[in-house]
A and B are shown apart, each in its own frame.
Chain A
Amino acid sequence: MKKPWYEWIQSIDRRIIYLVVFVVVSLPFFIKIKLPMRPSEPTENLYNKVEQIADYNKTSTKKKCIFFQMDWTPSVQAECWPQTEAMIEHCFMRDIPFIIMGWAPEGPMLTQTIAEKRAKEHGKKYGEDWVNFGYKPMNLPAFLAFIKDVYSQINQDTEGTPIRNVPVMQNVESIRDVDLIFHVTGSGGVEAWIQYLQPETGTDVATGCTAIIGPEMYPYLDSGQLIGMMEGLSGAAQYEHQIGYIGKGTRGSGSQNLAHFWIIAMMVLGNVGYLFQRKQEREEKQRLEMAGE
């Protein structure tokens, strides 16, 4: 006996679905459509904050810097790499010095790679425009010590030079001299900075996070504990749009469109079949009851 249509559309083999995912994500790589974009509120706030720092640096001799806390691993580089790249690009454009550190081993390494790539185009030099502390494992007690005195916890940068001798660090006596903490992560952890650092120093904290932990950050954005946020790849794309730079974020947005539509299509398809099946079953039951009476 032939399968009714509603059962049939529910029994598409998952491998076909997978194949379509592959196709819909691939197509936009080759067919490019430029669509207008506007930044979301958190992204715009972050952008404005960085601009503020840049304007301050123009006037004053003692340059304020941004602290990059890179807690991301290769597994989430898809989202965190573009975010980091966009922020680094912005820093180089408006020559804001920055410091890289990470509690995840790979974060600082990959960030260093990005920075070196971008530095070539902007003619920036390691040490003068940025410094990399590298992977610094810390537990909370160590973190509190770090807040009290950066130099007590960190003696050398990744190059092995004592950080006191690094030009960037000349303006940084303590963590208070940092004007913005930019925390990029795929697994949370920005709370440590909100809970232990911000009340001490009043430093602004911003986060670049994977889309999935984006919603979790909104209470902090509402309370001002986070000043801004890049939310996933679209956040990165919006930021790139603001600084006028075409990076991985912008390139990915095309594929995002089709992929999203495919997911929605799948939801609808699955549920239409499901609902009709349920309806049929209900009617079947009723008919049987009728027959029973």
Chain B
Amino acid sequence: MRKKLLIFLTFIGGLYYFVEWVMPAESGIEKTLTPFGQVTLVISGFAFLLGVINLVRLHGTRILKTRPGYYNSVALITAMIVMALAELLRFYLTPTPHWVDKSYEFLFVNMRVPIDSTIFSLLAFYMASAAYRAFRIKSLEAALMMSIAVIVMLGQITVGIWFSDMIFPAGYGLQDFREWLMKYWNAAAQRGILFGAVVGSLALSMRIWLSLERGSFFDREV
């Protein structure tokens, strides 16, 4: 019974947009897009507390059982509450008091942004050591990939472009070669991948829409 209901709802959910797509514009079905969009948006928005609840569950237990590193969990929960408060105050207090703006700026501009972008920028270093340790000519494939990578790299830095433009005739410099690689070789390969992915996602949509998914997980979860 439950399963039937699920299958039915999935089908209905898909059917609306499928029909909207198939029907000609004259049918005027487009007018229904706006209200439908608004309602679905609100409904999906209601999930907004799930992440918080899960996080509080997880770290709450860590704190209560004072697991090693529980102070991190404390910091996490505190940061969460403070940030949420700042956002709320900034939104509801009009005109926003100076201290709220300052504290919000402090949390967002001076803590969240630097931490986030710095963690991301660690990648620059990992890239260097990966190039040194991991990027090995183990096979012809690797050799090909590596040489292409080097050409592309030289073709995108000003020194490389300037130098190659001095040596090679106009229109045959490294930048042009890079663009040629990008425009034909890369674009074509990417399009091949794209076609594969597109057909794949179409198949996936069919399976979901008609509830054809089976198998240990697919049965239980989709």
CB neighbours of B120 from chain A (8 A): 75-76
Of the candidates B17, B35, B113, the one having the most CB atoms from chain A within 10 angstroms of its own CB is: B113
A61 within 8 A of B: no
Chain B residues lying within 8 Å of A20, measured Cβ to Cβ, are 128
Q: Which of B3-11, B52-60, B149-157 sits within the interface?
A: B149-157
Q: C-beta contact mask, B113-148 vs A, less than 8 Å → 1, else 0? A: 100110111001101110111011100000000100
Choose, from B72-80, B178-186, B203-211, B214-222, the stretch at the interface.
B178-186
For the complex, what is the distance from the CA of A253 to the CA of B156, rounded to whole Å?
A: 10
Task: Give chain B residues whose Cβ lies under 8 Å from the Cβ of A221.
Answer: 183, 187
Q: Which of A74, A148, A253 has the most CB of B within 10 A?
A: A74
Interface residues on B, range: 35 or more
| Chain A residues whose C-beta falls within 8 Å of the C-beta of B157 in the assembled complex | 234, 253, 256-257, 260
Q: Which residues of B contact A142 (CB under 8 A)?
A: 37-38, 40-41
In the complex, whether B100 has a CB less than 8 A from a CB of chain A is: no
Alpha-carbon gap, A274 to B139, bound state (A): 12
A-B interface contact total, Cβ < 8 Å: 156
Q: Does A141 count as interface, using CB distance less than 8 angstroms?
A: yes
Q: Are A269 and B132 in contact (CB under 8 A)?
A: yes
Q: In the bound complex, do residue B37 and residue A219 qualify as a contact, i.e. CB atoms below 8 Å apart? A: no
Per-position 1/0 for A154-176, Cβ under 8 A of B:
00000010000000000000000
Shortest CB distance A218–B (Å) = 4
A284 to chain B, nearest CB (A): 19
**A interface, how many residues as a size bin?**
35 or more
Known: A270-B131, A270-B133. A75 touches B117 (CB 8 A): yes
SS class of chain A's interface: helix, strand, loop or mixed? Answer: helix
Chain A: which residue is nearest B182 at the CB level?
A218
> Which one of A36-44, A86-94, A114-122 contacts B?
A36-44
B127 proximity list for chain A (CB < 8 A): 263
- Which of A10-18, A46-54, A62-70, A124-132 is the interface stretch? A10-18
Q: List 11 A-B contacts (CB under 8 A).
A: A18-B125, A18-B128, A37-B158, A146-B37, A149-B34, A218-B187, A256-B156, A256-B157, A259-B124, A267-B135, A275-B137
With A149-B34, A221-B187 already in contact, 20 other A-B pairs whose C-beta atoms are closer than 8 Å: A20-B128, A35-B162, A38-B161, A73-B116, A74-B113, A75-B119, A139-B44, A141-B33, A142-B37, A142-B40, A145-B37, A148-B33, A215-B182, A218-B186, A219-B190, A257-B158, A257-B160, A263-B153, A264-B153, A264-B154
**B residues neighboring A (CB under 8 Å):** 17, 30, 33-38, 40-41, 44-45, 94, 108, 112-113, 116-117, 119-121, 124-125, 127-129, 131-133, 135-137, 146, 150, 153-154, 156-162, 165, 175, 179, 182-183, 186-187, 190-191, 194
